[in-house]
Amino acid sequence: DSLDILITELSRIRPAELLLPPDLARSKHWENFYLTQRESKTFKTSSLRERFEEQEEVFREFPVATKAANGLWHYILDTSPGIEPSHILQIKTYRPEQWMLLDPWTRRNLELTESLRGKEKKGTLLAVLDYTKTAFGGRLLRRWIEQPLLKKKDIERRLNFVEALVEDSFLRGDLMTLFQKVFDLERLMSKVSYGTANARDLLSLTQTLSVLPQIRVCLAREEMFQNFLLALDGLDNLAETLEKAVNPDAPTSLREGNLIKEGYSQEIDELRSVSSGGKAWVAQLESQERERTGIRSLKVGYNKVFGYYIEVTHANSHLVPEEYIRKQTLTNAERFITPELKEYEQKILGAEDKIVQLEYQLFLEIREMVREYTPKILKAAQALAELDVYASLAEAAVCNHYTRPEISIEGSLHIIEGRHPVVEAMLPGTFVPNDTFLTPEKHLALITGPNMAGKSTYMRQVAIINLMAQIGSFVPAQKAHIPIADRIFTRVGASDDLASGQSTFMVEMYEVAHILRYVTDKSLVILDEVGRGTATYDGLSIAWAVTEYLVTQEIKPKTLFATHYHELTDLEEIHEGIVNLHVGVREYGEEIIFLHKIIPGRADRSYGIQVAKLAGLPNPLLQRAKIILHELESASQENRRDSLLDKNPIQLALFDVQPLDPLLQEVSELSLEDITPRQALDYLFDLQERIRSK
């Protein structure tokens, strides 16, 4: 069991890398992950306990987890030599049972954070709910969706905050506008901790900190947000210091200077004055020497090889004063230096070099000062992320017309006019809402009806509404009473697992076995077409047995079971816990319209041939299918096979079916709306003559 839970958690976290000792790395369980083998001794070091000695009690209570943390800590130190990861403030413990455990199949089938087709965010619940404005808010929303809550008080707390922001549109709008100016504090502080943050990073931090007072003013309007005010306090002095210290035009490199704002350091300002004054002195020297020597073309220049120099053309060389010292001869000119020029050059260049060095050292001091604020900044980041998610859920609720669910520890699942949030958002037109009512007494609903009618969408919709309620979100329904589910299981669709050598049916049976092994009275189970991956009677037998198992065992989870095996609907008369539902269909002759409405009772037909027609199958094939269907329905169980194999004229082989008579084809394609009564009568006389002539 613990291994299954571990694999489930790894699939949720999606780690970029697994660190394992050699004896564990050989296991086949990790074949879908990138592995790095580490020496066994790195998982047994004491450096972690020395760093977090105040948490000795945690280490004693979780000895195996401590080994894992040891290995991770050792890896961090090895990959970042000489750097103390100060942003890691404590060792936090967590147990999977604190949240609803969602297995990989459920997350995939419900398309919570990744779509089935493109493996992307578009078309997922996350995409519908994500109005977050900050990077860390977006990460937190994803985590909430993947870890629904199990305690009523925690769910109600989130719902209260969301409701407050739903009702106060001005507060919600102000917060979302301010959040747009907030940078990723978690990533910034990680860079500060590792000593890689540059001036641009500190400018991003400065901008974020400067927004906090405005956010506090907004939150002060609602009493229930007072705890967030405390988390966002205590950073004004740091913001003020950074505002005064860091040059807004600073480069990304720390070795180019121009990092520190004018007015922050007196020493740097004085050196800058010397440097800029020196350049003015050079311009003045050039003007002065031209006047003194009478050489109008005289220039004072600079290059990195010779430094500052005085350049005179050959034509004026006879005017050069004796104190000029020849330094370089060019094709058309001579370059000279003077003791006075060389002395000032050293003063100017020395000032510029010293400025760069002083700015670098001062920047490191400022960055170290920021590092000391790590606990407060990360606490503020956590508060901002939570506020961002509440605002996002509130915005989604308002934009999509969601309602606050009623939460109970147990009892009936009752949804009035529920809607699928993702399908509703992506498809044009009006989504057809449906009710759901599962009680402890009637806890398994058998759903029949044709393909494409909406059975799978309906079942997923119920599961997603339940999950949304447990993350603290409003839900797409007119009203919803949601009992807390400890787990949501889905068996929806399957495909061959070629890499593991498993067939579609084997994958399906593995998923069903997983559900039956871990299901409880408080679980919600979604089963779609169990048994269809094998022979008809085998599949029917398995589906029948699974249905009976879920209603006759001591554990009775709330279950939605969609099936094409109409024989299962008879179970409603045998077992009290079962209720039949079907998807409404309206018939117009041989045409059908899907109503997408869930109606009490069983479906009387499957409408498979009509669905095949909608899909565009050839007309001769459909005619043959009708003949076979009629034979199957009318023949007795014993002689069905013989009847189908009988070679009489009406039962031709499938691909020997003759095309329709051209006259019949012509009549069937005639557009009666486009001809007059007179034209119709003339056509009928003509048709009669052609038939007689044949």
What is the per-residue pLDDT across 501-513, written as a single tens digit (0 to 9) for each?
457 778 888 889 9
Cα–Cα distances (Å) from 636 to 628, 633, 641, in that order, read 14, 8, 10
In this predicted model, which residue has the larger pLDDT, 292 or 645? 292
- For residue 515, give the 3-state DSSP assignment: helix
| Residue 275: pLDDT band with limits 50, 70, 90 | confident
Q: Which of 354, 370, 386 is the last residue of a domain?
A: 370
Placement of tokens 């065992």 in the chain: 553
Q: Which of 614, 649, 667 is the last residue of a domain?
A: 614
Cα–Cα distances (Å) from 442 to 106, 483, 577, in that order, read 24, 15, 4
- Nearest partner of 201 among 259, 148, 157, judged by Cα: 259
The total of other beta-carbon atoms located within 10 Å of residue 375's CB is 14
Tell whether 97 is covered by a domain.
no
Q: Please check whether residues 511 and 437 belong to one and the same domain.
A: yes
- Residues 422 and 461: their CA atoms lie apart, in Å, by 9
Tell whether 192 is covered by a domain.
yes
Kindly report, residue by residue over 62-87, the tens digit of the pLDDT: 888 888 888 888 888 888 777 777 77
In CATH, what number is assigned to the domain containing residue 139? 1.10.1420.10
Q: Which of 614, 632, 667 is the last residue of a domain?
A: 614
Residue 105 has pLDDT above 70, yes or no: yes
Q: Please check whether residues 487 and 578 belong to one and the same domain.
A: yes
In this predicted model, which residue has the larger pLDDT, 579 or 509? 579
Number of domains into which the chain is organized: 4
- Residues 524 and 522: their CA atoms lie apart, in Å, by 7
Tell whether 76 is covered by a domain.
no
82 φ/ψ sector (left φ>0, alpha ψ -120 to 50, else beta): left
Range among 89-93, 357-361, 469-473 rated most confident = 469-473
The total of other beta-carbon atoms located within 10 Å of residue 239's CB is 18
- For residue 557, give the 3-state DSSP assignment: coil
Q: Please check whether residues 438 and 529 belong to one and the same domain.
A: yes
pLDDT at 31: 78
Over residues 419-444, the mean pLDDT reads 94
**8-state DSSP, 332:** S
Q: Which two tokens stand for residue 58?
A: 């945690």
The total of other beta-carbon atoms located within 10 Å of residue 279's CB is 11
Over residues 628-656, the mean pLDDT reads 50
201-208 CB contacts, 8 Å cutoff, 24+ apart: 202/242, 202/246, 202/366, 202/367, 202/370, 203/246, 203/248, 203/250, 205/242, 205/370, 205/377, 206/239, 206/242, 206/243, 206/246, 207/181, 207/183, 208/181, 208/182, 208/183
Q: Please check whether residues 668 and 651 belong to one and the same domain.
A: yes
Q: Please check whether residues 337 and 198 belong to one and the same domain.
A: no
Q: Please check whether residues 358 and 392 belong to one and the same domain.
A: no
Tell whether 623 is covered by a domain.
yes
**8-state DSSP, 260:** B
Q: pTM of the entire structure?
A: 0.79
- Classify the C-alpha dihedral 490-493-496-502 as positive or negative: positive
Over residues 578-607, the mean pLDDT reads 83
pLDDT at 498: 36
Over residues 232-259, the mean pLDDT reads 92
pLDDT at 678: 73
Q: Which two tokens stand for residue 583?
A: 């998807």
For residue 202, give the amino acid letter.
L
Asked if residues 511 and 105 have their Cβ atoms less than 8 Å apart, the reply is yes
- Residues 37 and 34: their CA atoms lie apart, in Å, by 10
Over residues 306-334, the mean pLDDT reads 93
Residue 690 has pLDDT above 50, yes or no: yes
Tell whether 637 is covered by a domain.
yes
- Residues 485 and 407: their CA atoms lie apart, in Å, by 11
pLDDT at 214: 97
Q: Please check whether residues 551 and 429 belong to one and the same domain.
A: yes
Q: Which of the residue ranges 347-361, 399-413, 422-436 would you say has the lowest mean pLDDT?
A: 347-361
Q: Please check whether residues 383 and 344 belong to one and the same domain.
A: no
Percent of the chain with pLDDT over 90: 53
Tell whether 454 is covered by a domain.
yes
Over residues 319-331, the mean pLDDT reads 93
In this predicted model, which residue has the larger pLDDT, 193 or 389? 389
Tell whether 1 is covered by a domain.
no
Over residues 266-285, the mean pLDDT reads 82
Q: Which two tokens stand for residue 154?
A: 């925690």
Range among 19-28, 229-238, 485-494 rated most confident = 229-238
Residue 658 has pLDDT above 60, yes or no: no
Q: Which two tokens stand for residue 90?
A: 């404590």
Percent of the chain with pLDDT over 70: 91
Label each residue of 200-213 as H, E or C.
HHHHHHHHHHHHHH
| Phi, psi angles (nearest 5°) of residue 168 | -110, 85
pLDDT at 204: 97
| Phi, psi angles (nearest 5°) of residue 298 | -60, 135
Q: Please check whether residues 492 and 415 belong to one and the same domain.
A: yes
Residue 242 has pLDDT above 90, yes or no: yes
- Nearest partner of 138 among 149, 153, 127, judged by Cα: 127
Q: Please check whether residues 438 and 564 belong to one and the same domain.
A: yes
Residue 158 has pLDDT above 90, yes or no: yes
| Residue 635: pLDDT band with limits 50, 70, 90 | low
pLDDT at 669: 66
Over residues 645-669, the mean pLDDT reads 51
Q: Which two tokens stand for residue 78?
A: 């090895």
pLDDT at 506: 83
In this predicted model, which residue has the larger pLDDT, 577 or 591? 577
Tell whether 677 is covered by a domain.
yes
- Nearest partner of 116 among 417, 456, 435, judged by Cα: 456
Q: Which domain holds residue 211?
A: 130-235+373-400
Kindly report, residue by residue over 21-61, the tens digit of the pLDDT: 888 888 888 878 888 888 888 888 777 777 787 888 888 88
- Residues 601 and 641: their CA atoms lie apart, in Å, by 32
In CATH, what number is assigned to the domain containing residue 573? 3.40.50.300
Residue 638 has pLDDT above 50, yes or no: no
**Which residues, including other chains, have CB under 8 Å from residue 293's CB and lie 6 or more apart?**
319, 320, 321
Range among 5-9, 34-38, 58-62, 434-438 rated most confident = 434-438
Residue 155 has pLDDT above 90, yes or no: yes
Q: Please check whether residues 448 and 483 belong to one and the same domain.
A: yes
Mean pLDDT of the chain: 86
Q: Please check whether residues 382 and 499 belong to one and the same domain.
A: no
Placement of tokens 């699942």 in the chain: 413
**8-state DSSP, 476:** S
